[in-house]
């Protein structure tokens, strides 16, 4: 069965499993901190008072009124949110907090289908200097140089969760964007067994971004009719 998720780009909130994801990377949170985020997200756009948070997250405990503020501070660090210019959690002075990002309620499969595939150079940009992985970065830059020269390359990056795969891809995407390359993103999932789904997402986003399907058909050449079986908008 598909899980119910709350999606606020670039994050996914899995309430059932108490997990917060950014791409394929899990953002680790303390249990009470996660509960605060879960409550705010499920009440997005509404003022949530400190007393409401205390009752929802610490119902049977006598805790300091400062506990919600401490949890919100942790959340802002995890989300990369600036309290002076918030994208996610807004402070309502003297009253509480409001979750201000757009939230979509989706199943895990629907989230994969509906995620926008076109990337700008700043999407998924991370703060802080990226160090290490020199050999891997060199291999990726070589593949990028080949692509810029008209020689397509396929690179597979594998490894355990949390070792920095998404960060490494983000760094490469930023370099490609600065070089003027068009960046596209597609998703796949063990739970969503749709053949070639990432490539369908990429092509759909290309056309959805205002590009002329006729231009794409010309670029695809003899492969166009075959791909049109997956993407009806390519059909003449």
- Mean per-residue pLDDT over the chain, rounded: 78
* Three-class SS state of 137: helix
What does the H/E/C string look like for 76-120?
A: HHHHCCCCCCCCCEEEECCCEEEECCCCEEEEHHHHHHHCCCEEC
Largest CA distance in the chain: 70
- Mean local confidence (pLDDT), 36-55: 94
For 184-235, the DSSP string reads E-----SS---TTHHHHHHHHHHHHTT--HHHHHHHHGGGHHHHHTT-GGG-
Tokens of 164: 């920095």
Domains of the chain: 4-104 (1.10.10.10), 118-182 (no CATH), 185-236 (no CATH)
CB-based burial, 179-207: b 16+ in 10 Å, e otherwise? eeeebbbbbeeeebeeeebbbbbbbbbbe
* Three-class SS state of 156: coil
- To 5 degrees, how large is the angle CA 31–CA 35–CA 40? 150
The answer to whether residue 236 scores a pLDDT higher than 70 is: no
Contact of 104 with 12, CB cutoff 8 Å: no
The answer to whether residue 115 scores a pLDDT higher than 50 is: no
- Higher per-residue confidence, 172 vs 204: 172
- Higher per-residue confidence, 83 vs 109: 83
- Mean local confidence (pLDDT), 164-185: 81
- Mean local confidence (pLDDT), 152-170: 82
**CA–CA gap between residue 124 and residue 189 (Å, rounded):** 19
Tell me the pLDDT tens digit for each residue of 66-102: 889 999 999 999 999 999 999 999 999 989 999 999 9
Q: Report CA-CA distances (Å) from 216 to 110, 125, 219.
A: 26, 28, 5
**CA–CA gap between residue 223 and residue 218 (Å, rounded):** 10
**CA–CA gap between residue 3 and residue 16 (Å, rounded):** 8
Q: Report the range out of 18-27, 46-55, 107-116, 193-202 with the highest average pLDDT.
A: 46-55
């Amino acid at each position: 069965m598909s899980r119910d998720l709350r999606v606020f780009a670039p994050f996914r909130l899995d309430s059932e499993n108490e997990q917060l994801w950014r791409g394929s990377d899990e953002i680790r949170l303390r249990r009470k901190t996660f509960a605060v985020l879960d409550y705010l997200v499920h009440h997005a756009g509404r003022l949530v008072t400190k007393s409401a948070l205390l009752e929802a997250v610490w119902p049977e405990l006598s805790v300091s009124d400062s506990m919600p503020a401490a949890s919100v501070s942790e959340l802002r660090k995890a989300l990369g949110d600036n309290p002076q210019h918030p994208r996610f959690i807004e402070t309502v002075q003297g009253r509480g907090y409001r979750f201000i990002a757009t939230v979509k309620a989706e199943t895990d499969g629907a989230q994969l289908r509906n995620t926008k595939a076109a990337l700008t150079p700043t999407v998924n940009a991370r703060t802080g200097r990226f160090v290490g992985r020199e050999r891997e970065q060199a291999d990726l830059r070589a593949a990028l140089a080949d692509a810029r020269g008209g020689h397509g390359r396929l690179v597979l990056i594998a490894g355990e969760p949390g070792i920095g795969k998404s960060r490494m891809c983000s760094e490469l995407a930023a370099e490609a964007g600065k070089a003027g390359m068009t960046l596209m993103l597609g998703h796949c999932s063990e739970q969503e067994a749709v053949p070639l789904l990432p490539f369908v997402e990429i092509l759909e986003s290309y056309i959805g971004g205002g590009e002329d399907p006729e231009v794409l058909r010309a670029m695809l050449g003899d492969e166009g009719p075959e791909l049109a079986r997956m993407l009806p908008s390519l059909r003449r």
